[in-house]
Amino acid sequence: MSVEANCCKPSGQDLKMQNNAKNLLVVAVALLDSDNRILIAQRPKGKNMDGLWEFPGGKVNTDEAPQIALAREIQEELGIKICTGCQLPLNFSSYRYEDFHLVLLLFACRNWEGTPQGLEGQQLKWIKIGDINNYPMPPADEVLVATLRDYLG
């Protein structure tokens, strides 16, 4: 017996992904404090998708391991140190924007050295997972919220 599933019908995103575009690999972290709050950062004015909230992180350089890239990006953006052993891979998202195709790897981290600061002019907020829908996010980050809800139980 065959059942036609809605998930097998191409969506607009599926059709966009069929077009050739430069792939961009990005890492991000859900920093979690002792109260299970998540740190999110607001994209500064003048940057693409400014005003939206995201999980901190950035681009993976050529020949750079994702965990090393995450530690570097978080040091640059937030001024804190996270070791690769404290990074728990959670999930990834794949999203086709107009000019590129983004693959976003999301890690969770509960241990770091220092106090997070917005070193690139971004506003930071500690929020409960139940409040995350009050903070508009880029589509690639948005799809990872369900994973965080499951992880935090």
Compute the radius of gyration of the chain from its Cα atoms: 16
In-domain check, residue 3: no
In-domain check, residue 9: no
Domain total of the chain: 1
In-domain check, residue 14: no
In-domain check, residue 50: yes
Q: Which residues constitute the domain of residue 65? A: 19-152
pLDDT, the chain, mean: 90
CA angle 43, 59, 124 (to 5 degrees): 30
Alpha-carbon torsion angle 78, 82, 84, 89, nearest 10: -70
**pLDDT, tens only, 41-97:** 999 888 889 999 999 999 999 999 999 999 999 999 999 999 999 999 999 999 998
Higher pLDDT, 7 or 36: 36
In terms of phi and psi (left: phi > 0; alpha: psi -120 to 50; beta: otherwise), the region of 132 is alpha
Q: Are 91 and 113 in contact (CB under 8 A)?
A: no
- Strands (E) located in the chain: 22-31, 38-42, 53-54, 57-59, 88-96, 100-109, 123-127
Count the neighbouring beta carbons within 10 Å of the beta carbon of residue 36: 13
In-domain check, residue 10: no
2 pLDDT higher than 90: no
In-domain check, residue 43: yes
In-domain check, residue 120: yes
In-domain check, residue 13: no
**pLDDT, tens only, 98-112:** 889 999 999 999 999
Q: How confident is the model at residue 15 (pLDDT cuts 50, 70, 90)?
A: low
Exposed, middle or buried, 78 (CB in 10 Å: 0-12/13-18/19+)?
buried
Q: How confident is the model at residue 5 (pLDDT cuts 50, 70, 90)?
A: low
pTM: predicted TM-score of the whole model, two decimal places: 0.86
146: domain CATH number is 3.90.79.10
